[in-house]
Amino acid sequence: MTIHATIDTTRNFRPKSEALALLIERGFLHQCTDLEALDAKLVEGRVTAYAGFDATADSLHVGHLLPLMAMRWLQKLDHKPILLIGGGTTRIGDPSFRTESRPMLDDAAIERNLRGIRDTVERLFDLSEGEGRMVNNAEWLDEFRFLEFLRDFGTHFTVNRMMTFDSVRSRLDAQQPLSVLEFCYMMLQAVDFVELNKRFDCTLQIGGSDQWGNIVNGVDLGRRSGNQLFGFTLPLLTTASGAKMGKTADGAVWLNPSRLSSFDFWQFWRNTADADVVRFLKLFTDLPLSEIDRLARLEGQEVNEAKKILATQVTSIVHGPEAARAAMEQGEALFSGKEDGTQPTHVLSADLLDGSLGLLSLLVRLGFAGSNSEARRLVQGNSVRVNGELETDDRRQLTRNDTREDRTLSIAVGRKRKALVQFG
């Protein structure tokens, strides 16, 4: 039995529901299992929707922001979001489009990760009773007993069909091993959907484009038990230069401030390529489309205004308005030409200046270089400035004489990485 998927038919589709209209307009919709029926359902009344997230790290990252924003809009339009954290499924690992198995995590690690994720989610959503919720699928997955599970759900899945999914095929075609454990992941995700439907009347699942197969499975399983479920996927986000979005030199762009500072988070968005600005404004901010249209008309240097607004808006949503403003001011100060930031970005013990503090080790300590050798190369490459002065001596030692009256010292590597160091 196949599902009638409407893929990319959004172009000629005129949605009647406010929610779908908005999501399509802002670029959230990629594929949907049944656009018209979903539209009708959204017009009818409040719909409960969910998006699932693995608990593989103690913070979500920019890649997760897309489903989060989609859910956020739904909540704003009076629908109900459920953030499903895969505490149970994380112990298996989704094989979708991966060439290798994921590492499995133990319960303690998963528990820790859940707490970190909650920190972010709470800022983005109203999770109060009746408005939205965050649930862990371990709640039900842990309860199943094997034979019971096979009896209740195993009969609804055929290996024949499971084999046809791209996520499985790709692994098999590549002659990579696919364990039974991973193979069954899609069953679990389908069960999640049905379970959420049973418990909370959830009828819509949102996921990344790589989740299409898993989502369809859930919708199918729902139908077998007599419920019409819906799902849609989000576009795969790549930057204008073709790279997968969300990576910087230092790795993933985390949403949790403890993993990535508000300053760096703001800078990430500030550095968006021109070609991506409008798309990102639509997807990652709450700004009305009329305002985005205005920003889209900016040309040349003025585009920078749009980028600042983008950065501040996103940071405000994810880290809060105060953090966003501080990050912006800090960025403005650091890049306005004046080397001094408005506030110290690093505080170090004054004792360090008693002995000899090598410039190289300071660069490492500030995170501007991964090793002394790398720091040395930066100095030799004429990219390091101390208090605004180009420093070319890689054996340079810093002393109290190098600090200003307020016992600060500014260090810059290249044009973008700057720090104000306070010794106190």
Partner RNA sequence: GGAGGAGUGCCCGAGUGGCUAAAGGGGGCGGACUGUAAAUCCGCUGGCUAUGCCUACGUUGGUUCGAAUCCAACCUCCUCCA
Of 103-142, binders to RNA (CB under 7 A) are none
Name which position in 273, 289, 347, 350 contacts RNA (CB under 7 A).
273
Task: Determine, following the binding rule CB under 7 A, whether residue 331 of this chain makes contact with RNA.
Answer: yes
Strands 230-233, 202-207: parallel, antiparallel or unpaired by DSSP?
Answer: parallel
Mind spelling out the 3-state secondary structure of 255-303?
CCCCCCCHHHHHHHHHCCCHHHHHHHHHHHCCCCHHHHHHHHCCCHHHH
Task: Determine, following the binding rule CB under 7 A, whether residue 342 of this chain makes contact with RNA.
Answer: no
Name which position in 164, 179, 258, 271 contacts RNA (CB under 7 A).
271
Task: Determine, following the binding rule CB under 7 A, whether residue 179 of this chain makes contact with RNA.
Answer: no
Residue 14 or 297: the one with the smaller Cβ distance to RNA is 297
314-317 — which CB contacts under 8 Å span 24+ positions?
Answer: 314/65, 314/265, 314/269, 314/280, 314/284, 314/285, 315/262, 315/265, 315/266, 315/269, 317/72, 317/123, 317/124, 317/284, 317/285, 317/286
Task: Determine, following the binding rule CB under 7 A, whether residue 372 of this chain makes contact with RNA.
Answer: yes
User: What distances in angstroms separate CA 418 from CA 33, 137, 271, one per listed residue?
Assistant: 48, 43, 15
185 labelled ligand-binding: yes
Task: Determine, following the binding rule CB under 7 A, whether residue 270 of this chain makes contact with RNA.
Answer: yes
Q: How far is the CB of 319 from RNA (least distance, A)?
A: 16
Task: Determine, following the binding rule CB under 7 A, whether residue 307 of this chain makes contact with RNA.
Answer: yes
The CA distance from 395 to 318, in Å, is: 42
- Residues 379/407, Cβ–Cβ less than 8 Å: no
- Residues 229/205, Cβ–Cβ less than 8 Å: yes
Task: Determine, following the binding rule CB under 7 A, whether residue 376 of this chain makes contact with RNA.
Answer: yes
Name which position in 377, 392, 404, 406 contacts RNA (CB under 7 A).
377
User: What distances in angstroms separate CA 3 from CA 216, 229, 393, one per listed residue?
Assistant: 7, 12, 68
Of 347-366, binders to RNA (CB under 7 A) are 364
Task: Determine, following the binding rule CB under 7 A, whether residue 304 of this chain makes contact with RNA.
Answer: yes
Residue 258 or 271: the one with the smaller Cβ distance to RNA is 271
What is the x/- site pattern for RNA, positions 18-47, by CB under 7 A? ------------------------------
Length of the chain equals 424
Name which position in 150, 161, 177, 406 contacts RNA (CB under 7 A).
177
- Other C-beta atoms closer than 10 Å to the C-beta of 45 total 8
Give me the residues that bind RNA (CB under 7 A), please.
175-177, 240-241, 243, 248-249, 267, 270-274, 300-301, 303-304, 307, 331-332, 334-335, 364, 370-374, 376-378, 381-383, 413-417
Q: Detail the residues annotated as belonging to a binding site for ATP.
A: 247
Q: Which residues are annotated as a binding site for L-tyrosine?
A: 50, 185, 189
